[in-house]
Structure formats: structure tokens, C-alpha cells
Amino acid sequence: RMATVDVKVKWGKEKFDVQIMLDEPAEVFKAQLFALTGVPPDRQKITAGTKKINDDTDLKSLNLKDKQMLMLFGTADEILQAPTEKPIFVEDLAPSDMAGLMAAGVPFGLENLGNTCYMNSCLQVVNNVNELVESLSNSPAESTQHSDPYNGLVVASKNLFKRMQSATEPIAPGNLLMQLRLNFPQFDERGEGGMHMQQDAEECLSQLLQVYTQKIKTAEGKSFIEDLFGVELDVEVKCAEGDEPAVTEKEKQLKISCHIQGPTPQPDGSSKGGTDFVTQSISLGLESSLEKNSPSLGRTALYKKTSKISRLPKYLLLHFVRFQWRQDTGKKAKILRAVKFPFLLDMRDFCTDEYKSRIDKWRNKEREANDERQAALRRRTETGTAKDESESKEGAKGEEKKEETMEVEGQEEIEETEDLWSTYELTGVITHKGRTADGGHYVAWIKKDSGKWFLFDDAKVCSS
């Protein structure tokens, strides 16, 4: 379990109660203070008594005490003002302006066909995975009239994503919706008045990937989806009530579930702990408990299940488990706690020791190759300034060819393979607005190849 200490931070006339995670880098603590005060990390000067807290400070070495007072110095950023111009959505534009949007690379959205925002958001995420869209376009499936119902869903997906690549207006994904409901009747559920009900976006994405897993294969006959999204785990299951040897096994899954915990009430009326960062949620998701029959005890017993990642995919799917069943109300309730996540996520610490070792070796090679490229650049610059103009041009030309060859060879030697992914750049987020699982609204935030982020709110699309 992560070591923590509760401190008080004084900033000007204000005081804040902060829980410091001692196993995390000091940058995480600075990010917490930024969220509370608006003082950017690069402007923060933090002291704990006579000690200064810098980015490279080991928080454990400070021997912080519970309720210790820390001092923060720094000026907060100005509060962002609302935009002076109202955002304009694509469906509100005149036809003459549509051509300009297409030329600028602005994508078009999907029409809501009656509480289908959950599906539209999932489809925008899938459409952003170029390899998956290409594999669907190369699928031999051609007709929705087939004895295998999954075939119809693959064809509908193939046709929709093809249309999305060259859309000149928002698209109505009616055929895909029909095939989804045909294969998975829960998405055809209706409420009072005959209206289709809101559904869970995570469940929709899981069902789509289930179909693609079975129907899209590599040239070697393997599942293309498992190659692209598959996470492999080394799992240890140990009885918590008896002295039984631990059982180890292998598991495969297409996403990592991130659990969220609220703060624990304290006797003095305050609260402590809770999930604040995605790394904490991942740790909780990799540890769980279950009840099953114990051979040594002859009864049902509690077992602890601990997982370590033994293989990471090219694309990592994280699922924040925000909806839980409440026995008292008989309904799904939403966990509203805010959890922060970075634009760049390093998964190394959640891996097995063997996989960590492979990651470290690859990163060391990459660092050495980068150092060599920088040294080669310096040598090339020094060579060019030491000769006269004519000799410099001739010598630099030959040296450049030599160094370019070395650079390419180095890149080929250390090129990251599909089973050595460990650092992930954020490219898509599906969010749910509202407090209940049966209502609310889903939108998708997508980072395109151009580097721009777009908000997809069904047919409404805007740059964010």
C-alpha cells in the first residue's frame, strides 16, 4: 500500500490540508498544489522547516510528520476568461464554409439517433486507431446478409469508417446501430414511452472489440485486436485466511480497470485518503479479493488476487469504474470523485520484474543512441567551422552522409517492438456528464494525427 502523510500547506493567508504520497515523485505533490492554488510547478518554492522541496527531492527523506506545516511561495496564474466569441459548430455553418473546414482537416461528427451518444463516442475513439480502421477496410466481409450475425456488424463498421474518412457533413450511423442491437439486444432496451434508453459506453466498446477480436485476423491467423490492445498479466492468488501456497496463472484482457475510492471518514469528522490520480486507480485495479472454496479450510474463504503486467500493447485502454450497484436503491450509482490523468503515462512500475528489465534495457539503448546522435551533431558542427568555406562544404557533405547512416542504423537497432510498449501518449477520452448510469450524456475528446484536439458531441464538433 502507498505510504502517505497528511500535512498543512500555508500559502499567503490561506492554508490547505494535503495528503502527500511519499512513494510518488515530488512533481506529483507540486501538481496537487497547482490544483489547489493555481501556482504553476515551475514557480513553486516549497519549504519543510529548513529543507527545500525540489523536483528531484525524495519525499521520504524529509521525514515529514503528520499535520506538519509546509510553506508555499509563488504567484498563481491569472484566471482564464471566457472566450469573447461564441464557438461555432459545423452544423451551423453555411455550405460555403463547409469546404473551408474540410480543407483545414476538421472532422465531422455522428448524428444522435435517440440516446446513442454512448455509441457515437465509442466510434470516434475506434476511428482514431488507424491500424484498426485499415484492418476493417481490408476485411473480406461484404454483405450484412450472412449466417454469422457478427459479419453484419463488421461490414457496417467497415462502411461507416470509410464514410467518416471523406465525410462532408455529419453522418447517421443507422446501419451500424441496427447491427449492434441485433447482436446485443441490451442496446435495444426501451424505457417508459417507448424511447430507447441510455446505455454504458464502456459496455458498447467492449462488445465492438469482442466482435472485431473474432472476425479480424492477422496473416498468421492471430487476433488482430489482441495484438493491438491485449494486456497480459501474471496473476497470484493467495488465501488470506489459511497457510496455502499461492497459485500463479496467466490472464489476458483488452483493457485495465481503474478503481476509484472515496476518502475514509475519521473519528474527528474529517476524511482521509481516496483516489486522486490515475496511477492510484491502476494499482487498485490490479489488486482485488474474491471468495472461493479453500481445500485446506474446507469452507469458503477470502483470497487476495495480485496482478503484474507481463506484456503491454501498442494502444492501452483504461476504464475508470465509475458506476457501482447500490443494494439500498437497486440502481447503478456514479462515483463522482475527480481523478487526474497525465498526457503521458509511464506503465513501467506496474510490470513484472522481467518486463521492467527489458524496458530498462531498451530505454538505456535509446538514451545511448540519442547521446551518440547529439555527439555526432557537435562533431559535424566543429568540423564545419574548422575548415575554409570550400573544404567545409565538401567535408560536411561527406560527414553528413556518414552520420546519417549511423543514425538510421542506431534507430533500427533499438526500434521499439510491439511487445515493449511502456509509455503512452493520451489520444482519446470518453466522458460522461450526469449523475446516473441510465441518463446523462457521453462525449469524446480525440487528438488527431495533426496534434489538434477535438470535442465530439454527437454531430457537434469543435476544436478544443
Which sequence positions are flagged as catalytic?
A: 117, 441
CB-CB contact of 305 with 288 (8 Å): yes
Residues 6+ apart with CB under 8 A from 209: 225, 229, 254
What span, in angstroms and rounded, lies between the C-alpha atoms of 96 and 81?
A: 31
Listed in order, strand segments (DSSP E) in 49-198 are: 51-53, 69-73
CB-CB contact of 458 with 111 (8 Å): yes
- Give the torsion through C-alpha atoms of 217, 220, 224, 227, to 10 deg: 160
Tell me, letter by letter, the H, E, C secondary structure of 134-177.
Answer: HHHHCCCCCCCCCCCHHHHHHHHHHHHHHHHHCCCCCECCHHHH
Interstrand relation of 331-334 and 323-326 (parallel, antiparallel or unpaired): antiparallel
The neighbouring-strand residues paired with 265 are 271
Q: Which of 451, 454, 345 is nearest to 443 (CA)?
A: 454
Amino acid letter, 321: V
CB-based burial, 133-155: b 16+ in 10 Å, e otherwise: bebbeebebeebeeeeebbbbbb
Interstrand relation of 441-447 and 287-294 (parallel, antiparallel or unpaired): unpaired
What span, in angstroms and rounded, lies between the C-alpha atoms of 252 and 310?
A: 10
Interstrand relation of 45-48 and 69-73 (parallel, antiparallel or unpaired): antiparallel
CB-CB contact of 20 with 5 (8 Å): yes
Largest CA distance in the chain: 89
